[in-house]
Amino acid sequence: MTAADRALERAQAVVAFGGGHGLAATLTALRLLVDDLVVDDLTAVVTVADNGGSSGRLRSEFGVLPPGDLRMALAALCSPDRWGDTWAHVLQHRFAGQGEMRGHVIGNLLIVGLWEQLGDPVAALDWVGRLLGTSGRVLPMALTPLDITAEVRGLDPTDPERLTVVRGQVEVATTDGVITAIALDPPDPTPCPEAIAAVRAADWVVLGPGSWFTSVIPHLVVPALRESIVASDARVVVTLNLDEQAGETVGFEAADHLAVLAEHAPDLRVHTVLADERHAGEGLADLEHLVRASGAGLVVADIACDDGSARHDPAKLAAAYARIMTGTDR
């Protein structure tokens, strides 16, 4: 039975890939679809390459997966009732002060503590999810901490075309040069088996929005993850960012995001590209051409917050996903 056939019989299974604020926006939107019974099985697969802040410190000291992006995904899946809202805020609380605890986040400490107690990163995340009453499951993309490396052009003032290798998620995300490609160290990490199983059972896979080179594309350069997505009959939705991002995608138009995705995963079959109607702007014609050439569908909708910021509005994003997943936009 294909994903399309399964979708006719029940609410649908969705796997969302990403990290940080971008994935949190997607999960907040998809959580609304769980409440509306459009989605009945929601899984987040999260990057584990952060080397900065509280996550970086815990990773360095204890040799664990960086917990920050996993924590943000769990918080995004909390229900909006008093219990969920309270725990979401507790999970995200960052200590101030001037001592060693400064900058640490309660959720990061909770997750790492459970990892030490249980010795199983997935079981620990499931326990946190049960405590919070989340509307979905949160899984790491790999079972070992990863480092992102990037080939960057323009860092050598004496040779602007020379490629320099930049290492580390924070360093890549804040580079002053132009990122041409990324890789992971180790290059073939052990994937999370539960993430592979979720993709195999999924009706939909959602990529983006988020930091394109450090949160979205890394999933596609984990060989086992990319192969599972390509082999699955799940339909892939790519949600484009609302604006360029300093350090990663300066000068990018909407079509450029899609093009670099294809460069890193040329065998990826995309079902639908979702773009914001205002931010697609002058690059809309190029985006339409690229999407059409790839055989995908393009949905252009109002999915941005009304305050003018480059943030996705959860309710608008949920409405767009609902139209795509129920076939009313095709």
Per-residue pLDDT tens digits for 86-125:
999 999 999 998 888 898 999 999 999 999 999 999 999 9
Residue 46's identity, in one-letter code, is V
The HSE-up count of residue 226 (CA atoms within 13 Å, CB side) is: 19
Q: In the predicted model, is pLDDT for residue 157 greater than 50?
A: yes
* 98-107 contacts, C-beta under 8 A, 24 or more apart: 103/53, 103/54, 103/57, 104/54, 104/57, 104/58, 105/54, 105/68, 105/71, 107/67, 107/71, 107/74, 107/75
Q: In the predicted model, is pLDDT for residue 36 greater than 90?
A: no
- Looking at residue 34, its pLDDT comes to 93
Cβ–Cβ under 8 Å, residues 273 and 288? no
pLDDT band at 283 (very low <50, low <70, confident <90, very high): confident
Higher pLDDT residue, 51 or 251?
A: 51
Q: In the predicted model, is pLDDT for residue 4 greater than 80?
A: no
Of 107-116, 191-200, 247-256, 278-287, the poorest mean pLDDT is in 278-287
Domains in the chain (CATH in brackets) are 1-11+20-38+187-330 (3.40.50.10680), 48-140 (no CATH), 147-182 (no CATH)
Mean pLDDT, to the nearest integer, of 240-248? 90
Of 96-100, 110-114, 234-238, 267-271, the poorest mean pLDDT is in 96-100
- Looking at residue 37, its pLDDT comes to 86
Q: In the predicted model, is pLDDT for residue 195 greater than 70?
A: yes
pLDDT band at 232 (very low <50, low <70, confident <90, very high): very high
Mean pLDDT, to the nearest integer, of 212-232? 97
- Looking at residue 320, its pLDDT comes to 97
Mean pLDDT, to the nearest integer, of 249-262? 92
pLDDT band at 330 (very low <50, low <70, confident <90, very high): low
Dist. CA 222–CA 142, nearest whole Å = 8
- Looking at residue 6, its pLDDT comes to 47
Mean pLDDT, to the nearest integer, of 55-74? 97
Higher pLDDT residue, 9 or 147?
A: 147
Mean pLDDT, to the nearest integer, of 122-138? 97
- Looking at residue 10, its pLDDT comes to 55
Q: In the predicted model, is pLDDT for residue 8 greater than 50?
A: no
**Residue where the block lists tokens 């990319």:** 226
Name the nearest CA neighbour of 222 among 126, 136, 143, 125.
Answer: 143
Dist. CA 206–CA 118, nearest whole Å = 30
Query: HEC profile for the chain?
Result: CCHHHHHHHCCEEEEEEECHHHHHHHHHHHHHHHHCCCEEEEEEEECCCCCCHHHHHHHHHHCCCCCHHHHHHHHHCCCCCHHHHHHHHHHHCECCCCCCCCCCEHHHHHHHHHHHHHCCHHHHHHHHHHHHCCCCEEEECECCCCEEEEEEECCCCCCCCCEEEEECHHHHHCCCCEEEEEEEECCCCCECHHHHHHHHHCCEEEECCCCHHHHHHHHHHCHHHHHHHHHCCCEEEEECCCCCCCCCCCCCCHHHHHHHHHHHCCCCCCCEEEEEHHHHHHHHHHHHHHHHHHCCEEEEECCECCCCCCCECHHHHHHHHHHHHCCCCC
Mean pLDDT, to the nearest integer, of 67-72? 98
**Residue where the block lists tokens 């073939």:** 188
pTM of the predicted protein model? 0.94
Q: In the predicted model, is pLDDT for residue 145 greater than 70?
A: yes
